[in-house]
Structure formats: structure tokens, C-alpha cells
Amino acid sequence: MTSNPVSLHDILAQFRDDARNNRDLGDRFERMMQQFFRVDPLYAGLFSEVWMWNEWPLKGQVGDVGIDLVAQHRATGEYFAIQCKFYLPEHILGKGDIDSFFAALGKPQFSKGIIVSTTDKWGKNALDALNQTKSVARLGIHDLEQSPIDWSKFDAHKLGKLKRTKKNDIRPHQKAALGDVIQGLKEADRGKLIMACGTGKTFTALKIAETLAPMLAGKGKPGHVLFLVPSLSLLSQTLREWTAQSELPLRSLAVCSDATIGKRREKSSEDSGEITIYDLPYPATTNDKQLIAHYKALTKTATDSDSQPGLVVVFSTYQSIDAVAKAQNAGLPGFDLIICDEAHRTTGVTLIGEDESSFVKVHDRNFLKGTKRLYMTATPRIYGDDAKSKAKEASAEIASMDDSEQFGHELHRLGFGEAVGKSLLTDYKVLVLAVDEKYVSKTFQKQIADKGTELNLADATKITGCWNGLEKRFEAAKSNIDLQGDLNPMRRAVAFSRSINDSRKFVEQFGRIVAAYKADHPDLQPLEIEADHVDGTFDALRRGTLLDWLKAESPTNTCRILSNARCLSEGVDVPALDAVLFLNPRNSVIDVVQSVGRVMRRAEGKRYGYIILPIGIPADKTPEEALKDNEKYKVVWQVLQALRAHDDRFTATI
């Protein structure tokens, strides 16, 4: 390579070209990572110093071991051992590759470890080795790319300095939300912020915290904020965004005390977008005693320095709320502001006499002490009169977002319609693609007849409908569709199926359908399809690689599809999409709306996002007649009803 690298992948390729040998290659990567831990705001706030192993003052006490970098915790003074593994992407990292590191980590000088690898492929024994007495985090290429480092400014030849990207400015719609929330919480102790997916809810929450918490704390004191999320995935994303965008000094604590989350999933039925605790890029406290100890160390360091007070922020899952409450009983101060993200998750029914869910406990000011509470969501969940009556009959308490006692009043709302009107989101179209089964049967009769393929007429019809929709080619569909001049084929899409097995089968069969069609029509150049599958058994590094693949520029005349059942719904940072395909999903109304929110994110040259619902039409029926079969086409009505519930323009546009 001769040109200046513009991406992290280019930089790593340049290292390989420039290195004289493997030792030189490793040294280049280690020196870049030393800079990374010093410059990335997440780690710059965590570590007071990062040394190359040979430069660490205490290395003589440990001996020559498998450690590349050593970092010192800014508040506690603890030492973190860091290993940097530079491998080709296809290398499978085995336990033997990291044994020497774990042997060194066992020495008393080190409290925690971090492994950075350029491959996302980890063997089972290597993964099992991460579950040590001393916690070990791992970082992959996806994690490095998500950081606010401007990789295009790094000189890979000369190993120049890493530089941060510019922080975001608050936008007018976010400033309006900030003003309304600050005004509303002057008198009230709680309230709701409703913002459509993709309009910067997390960033807006940061600006609210930076404004409100110091006011409530008083002059010269740090504002105390609790930020609650339903998953470690969201905790990781929020922690990274807040540390990257904060204008005030941010002293962060992460809490994950619940043993049922953050564990590696191996069963194919467990389709979740959750990450394991070793994929959390920030060390987490796991109980109230640790939380108190880290809080005291953090605030003592802040008191000893002359910096402005800033914010102390506890990022926690709802499932860990008991540990936070216990820490408060043991001396952790009450919070100036408690922010409940994905607040629709804090609704629910509790039978009298039963223990409350961790998600519902947040409403109790006696259980969790805080001056103000802010409930944020794009998709408020409200229980109807019928559900409330049944709950009353069953002697149950119900938490519904229209209950102002529990959730406060609505302080600000930015709905889908308003966001589209302000050009914050692209509009969307729903394509109910009614495909003639007779046409599909004739075109793919050989594949359908082959019992070894498990391809039936219904599946072949749905796949054909999806392909037609992505290419915007409708001669095989009994549909009168006006795309208003938006005729370019789509480039990236996410597909939702009923189960993991259905998702895998969709990917496999899509390839066969495309190959068969091209073989029968050698003179045509249909849209190429690259499809892959992801599910909750994939670890965070592998999922990150697939999301990067989906986000990257695809080859000419090619559309990429990432297929799943549920693991790409709530809490997963999916790139801007051209389309969402709903095949036969079991998704909830909330899942549907959040998926649609992703298809509405703006991108250069994008006019609309598309929701594609493929259905097969028997040869003897019209689309209108077929759609009256409510059970067979239940998915169509589920999706349309979900959209109608959350988009005030829906009736006028569909």
C-alpha cells in the first residue's frame, strides 16, 4: 500500500506491509494501542497512565511474561495487564495463544486484564478461559472502530498520534427537548421524554444530565446521575457515547450484578442481542460493596484534584437495581437525576404479595433514592381499560405509562411524523408484495421438487417477494406500487423470521433461488444478494463483524441482508438500512416499531426506507381475496397495526 490509510482496516494492512518481521508487526500494533488507551475518552478517564511493558516501573517484580501494556486505574491505583494479539482475521484464537497472559495476570500486582485482538474468531477453550477470578475484558476491531478516534488522521507509516473526532453539537430538535425537560422538572419530580428512534435520545439525555444534575447538586459539588438500561449491550453503547460526547468531566461506574445476564449463550433457542460481561469495554462492579468502594475512590480522586466537579454517573442494568439500592443504604448518596432508558420496559403487572420485578422497582422513591426521574422511550407502552380492569379483579398492581403518579407527565414528544416532517428521518413505505404462486411454481419447480433442499412453495414465494422488493422489480407481483421515482435497488436490509432455524433456512434458500434464476436467465443481470445469519449464540465480536459487513459499502448491483429472529431488535446498534423484511416473525409491537425506526435513519441518496411484507397469492385468488385470510396473513396485520399505534400519519399514508 502506498496511499495514506483512511480506515482501521487500512492501517492494519499497512502495518503488515511495512513490518520487517512479526516482532516489528506486534510492536507497531502495541504502540498504537498504547495511544488508543491514552486518547479514547472511555479509557483516558479510567487510566492515569499506560506503559509499554518494557517501560513499566514495576516490571522487575514480575519477570518477562506475556503482557504487552500495563495501565493504572486513575481512582484505585490498581494495575491492568493488557495483551495485544495481531492476527489475520481468519485466525482462530486458541487458549494456547493467551496462556502466558493468564499466567502473568495471576500475579498479585495485577487486578484486571484486557485482551485486544484483530480476529473475532475465538475457540471455545479460549472463551472459557475468560471466566477468571480476576475479570478480563476483550476488545475487537468492531470495538476500536466504534471509538471516537479519527483513524483517517493516523499516519501508519510513522506511527503518528491518534486524534479524536469532533464532538457533536446539540441540534435544534434536541435543544427543544432539553428545554422542555428542564422546565418540566423544575416543579415535578418525574416526567416522560418521548423521542422517535434515530433522533438522538441518548445524546439528548446527556445534555439534560449535564444541565440539570449540577443545578440540583449545588455549586462546587458533582452531580450524581443513575442511568438505567435493560441490557449490557445498551449499557456499553450509552457509556461509550456519554464519555465521547460529554462536555463535563465524567466519572463513570458500571454495575452488573445479576448472574442471569452477561453470560455466554450456547442454546440456539436463546436469541438475544445481549453481550457477555467480558465484552463490556469497561470494568463493572458486581455487588454493592464493590460499588461503594469504587465510588469512594472515584470521589476522593476528584476531590484531591482541582478539576471542576462534573458528573458522577452510575450506568446500571435494571436487573442490578438491588445492588444500587443496597449501596445507597450503605452510604452511596441519593441521585440528583435517575434516567430510565427504554422506559416501556418498566411497565408491567405485579400480583399483590409477590416481589416486584427489577424493572418496576425503579418507580419507588423509597426503594431507590433520587430527586428527579426521567423516563425515556420511542415506544410508550400503555395498558388499556380492559387490561386494567382484569388486573384489578386479580388484585394486581399495574404500571402503565399513562399513570402520571408513576411516570409523571409527558414533558416533550418528538414522534415519527414530526421527525420526518423536520427531515430528521426519512419517510418509509410499506410494500405488501403479493407474489403469484403459479409464477413461482413454474420458475422454481425443479428446486421445489427436490426434497433435499427443504424448499417449499410458500418459502420460495416469500423469497421471490423479498428479492422483487429489494430490486424494486414488480412484474412477478400482483401489485400496483408507486415508488414516486425512487427506483434504485436497495443496498442493505435486515430480515426477521419466526425462529433461528427459520432465519438460517432463509439465508440458505435465498442463495439457491438466486442461483437457479440466474442459471435459467443467463442474459439478465438481476440484483445480486449477499445474505448472512446472526443469532444470540454469536458472541459480541462475531456479531460486530457481521454488523460492520452490513454497514460497509457493498459491491455494485449487490444488496446485503442480515437475517435474524430477534437478536437485532432492541438495544443493538444496527446501521442505517434501506429495508426491513418481515417474513413470519413473532416480534412484539415494540420490536416492530424499533426495527422500523432503523429503516428511517437518514443516509446519503436515500429517499425512503421500506418495510417489505412478502405474501403468496394462490393462482385462483386476487390479492384482496387472499388477504382476507387473517390467520394465514396474520403477520401483515400485526406489522400494520404496530405501525398504526405509533405513527399518527399512518392512516393517511397506507
Which among 331, 268, 319 has a CA at the least distance from the CA of 294? 331
Closest CA to 320 of 371, 254, 270, 242: 254
- How high is the pLDDT of residue 356? 62
**Residue 193 neighbours by CB under 8 Å, 6+ apart:** 177, 181, 201, 204, 205, 208, 374, 375, 376, 411, 412
Cell numbers 495483551: residue: 83
Query: Does the pLDDT at position 586 exceed 70?
Result: no
Q: How confident is the model at residue 478 (pLDDT cuts 50, 70, 90)?
A: very low
Residue, of 562 and 525, whose pLDDT is higher: 562
**Quick check: helix, strand or coil at residue 644?**
helix
Judged by DSSP in three states, 113 sits in strand
Of 414, 435, 452, the one marking the end of a domain is 414
- Per the structure, the count of domains in the chain is 3
Whether 242 and 384 map to the same domain: the answer is yes
Amino acid present at 494: V
- Domain shared by 597 and 461, yes or no: yes
What integer pLDDT is reported at residue 182 of this predicted model? 98
Co-location of 247 and 363 in the same domain: yes
In order of 8, 494, 543, 641, the CA distances from 595 in angstroms are 29, 9, 17, 14
pLDDT in tens, 39-54: 999 999 999 999 999 9
User: Above 60 in pLDDT, residue 118?
Assistant: yes
Residues 504-520: what's their mean pLDDT? 86
- Whether 615 and 434 have beta carbons less than 8 Å apart is answered as yes
**DSSP code per residue over 21-47:** SHHHHHHHHHHHHHHHHHHSHHHHTTE
Nearest to 143 by CA among 563, 548, 601, 564: 548
- 206 vs 469 pLDDT, higher one: 206
Task: Say what the pLDDT of residue 651 is.
Answer: 37
Query: What pLDDT does 475 receive?
Result: 56
For 387-406, give the DSSP string: HHHHHHHTTEEEE-TT-HHH
DSSP at 149 = B
Beta bridge partners of 224: 312
Considering 414, 434, 462, which residue would you say is the last residue of a domain? 414
- Is residue 513 within 8 Å of 110, Cβ to Cβ? no
Contact call for residues 580 and 598 (beta carbons, < 8 A): yes
More confident residue, 521 or 367: 367
pLDDT at 204 over 70: yes
163 domain-assigned: no
Asked whether residue 55 falls in the same domain as residue 115, the answer is yes
342-371 pLDDT tens trace: 998 888 766 555 556 788 899 999 999 999
pLDDT confidence tier of residue 480, bands split at 50, 70 and 90: low
> Which element (helix H / strand E) includes 555?
none
Q: Are residues 119 and 215 in the same domain?
A: no
Using the predicted structure, report yes or no on whether residue 429 has a pLDDT greater than 50. yes
Q: What is the CATH number of the domain that holds 402?
A: 3.40.50.300
Rg of the chain on CA atoms, in Å? 26
More confident residue, 60 or 313: 313
Q: How many CB atoms are located within 10 Å of the residue 261 CB?
A: 21
Percent of the chain with pLDDT over 90: 50
Residue 390 in domain: yes
- Residue 254 CA to residue 338 CA, distance in Å, equals 15
Nearest-angstrom CA–CA distance, 234 and 240: 10
Q: Which of 187-196, 375-384, 597-606, 629-638 has the highest mean pLDDT?
A: 187-196
Within a domain: residue 2? Answer: no
First CA to last CA across the chain, in angstroms?
A: 51
What is residue 194's predicted lDDT score, i.e. its pLDDT? 94
Residues 480 and 409 in one domain: no
Asked if 114 and 139 count as a contact pair (C-beta separation under 8 A), the reply is yes
In whole angstroms, give the CA distance from residue 225 to residue 317: 14
Q: Which residue has the higher pLDDT, 16 or 305?
A: 16
Q: 477: which strand partners?
A: 435
Query: 477: pLDDT confidence band, cut at 50, 70 and 90?
Result: very low
Q: Whole-angstrom Cα distance, residue 88 to residue 207?
A: 41
> b or e along 529-551 (b: 16 or more beta carbons within 10 Å of the residue's beta carbon)?
bbbebbbbbbbbbbbbbbbbebb
Confidence band, pLDDT 50/70/90 cuts, at residue 647: low
Cα–Cα distance measured from residue 214 to residue 208, given in angstroms and rounded to the nearest whole number:
10
Say what the pLDDT of residue 300 is.
Answer: 80
Q: Is residue 351 part of a domain?
A: yes
Instruction: Based on the fold, state whether residues 189 and 317 are members of the same structural domain.
Output: yes
| Mean pLDDT in residue range 324-341 | 96
Task: Give the whole-angstrom CA distance, residue 360 versus residue 376.
Answer: 15
Residue 278's pLDDT is what?
86
In the chain, the amino acid numbered 100 is S
Say if residue 525 is exposed, middle or buried (CB neighbours under 10 Å; 0-12, 13-18, 19+). Answer: exposed
Q: What is the 3-state secondary structure (H, E, C) of 176-236?
A: HHHHHHHHHCCCCCEEEEEECCCCCHHHHHHHHHHHHHHHHHCCCCCEEEEEEECCHHHHH
Q: Can you read off the three cell numbers belonging to residue 193?
A: 421524554
Does residue 617 sit within a domain? yes
- Looking at the fold, whether 318 and 390 belong to one and the same domain comes out as yes
What percent of the chain has pLDDT above 70? 81
**What secondary structure does DSSP assign to 245-307, as a single string?**
H-SS-EEEEEE---TTSSPPP-STT-------GGG-SS-EE-SHHHHHHHHHHHHHHHHHS-S
pLDDT of residue 631: 66
Better pLDDT: 640 or 31: 31
88 burial class (0-12, 13-18, 19+ CB within 10 angstroms)? Answer: exposed
What number is the average pLDDT over the span 185-201? Answer: 94
Q: Are 491 and 560 in contact (CB under 8 A)?
A: yes
Comparing CA positions, the residue from 227, 214, 202, 211 lying closest to residue 178 is 211
Our measurement of the distance from residue 476's CA atom to the centroid of its chain's CA atoms, rounded to an integer in Å, reads 36
Distance separating alpha carbons of residues 156 and 31, to the nearest angstrom: 11
Residue 413 predicted with pLDDT over 80? yes
Q: What angle do CA 364, 394, 343 make, to 5 degrees?
A: 35
In a domain, 323, yes or no: yes
- Residues 83 and 57 occupy one common structural domain: yes
Query: Per mean pLDDT, which range of 137-141, 149-153, 461-465 is the poorest?
Result: 461-465
Choose the final residue of a domain: 394, 414, 434: 414
Q: Is the pLDDT of residue 229 over 50?
A: yes
Q: Assess whether 408 and 471 both reside in one domain.
A: no
Q: Rounded CA gap, 343 and 65, in Å?
A: 47
- Residue 97, pLDDT score: 94
Domain, as residue range, for 600: 425-653
Q: What does the DSSP assignment read for 573-639?
A: -PPP-SEEEESS----HHHHHHHHHHHTS--TT--EEEEEEEEEE-TT--HHHHTT-TTTTHHHHHH
Per-residue confidence band for 428, with pLDDT thresholds at 50, 70 and 90: confident
What does the pLDDT read at residue 523?
Answer: 78
Of 85-94, 316-325, 356-365, the one with minimum mean pLDDT is: 356-365
Q: How far apart are CA 434 and CA 397, in angstroms?
A: 44
Q: Is residue 159 part of a domain?
A: no
- Range in 34-38, 404-408, 452-456 the model is least confident about: 452-456
CATH of the domain at 99: 3.40.1350.10
Q: Which residue, among 315, 312, 319, has the nearest Cα to 284 in the 3D structure?
A: 315
Residues 628 and 502 in one domain: yes
Quote the mean pLDDT of the chain.
Answer: 84
Stronger pLDDT, 341 or 481, i.e. the higher one: 341
Nearest CA among 243, 395, 220 for reference residue 315: 243
- Count Cα atoms within 13 angstroms, Cβ side, for 600: 28
Residues 277 and 348 occupy one common structural domain: yes
The candidate with the shortest Cα–Cα distance to 214, out of 292, 148, 287, 311, is: 311
Give every CB contact of residue 315 below 8 A, 6+ residues apart in sequence: 227, 229, 235, 238, 239, 242, 252, 253, 254, 255
Domain assignment present for 130: yes
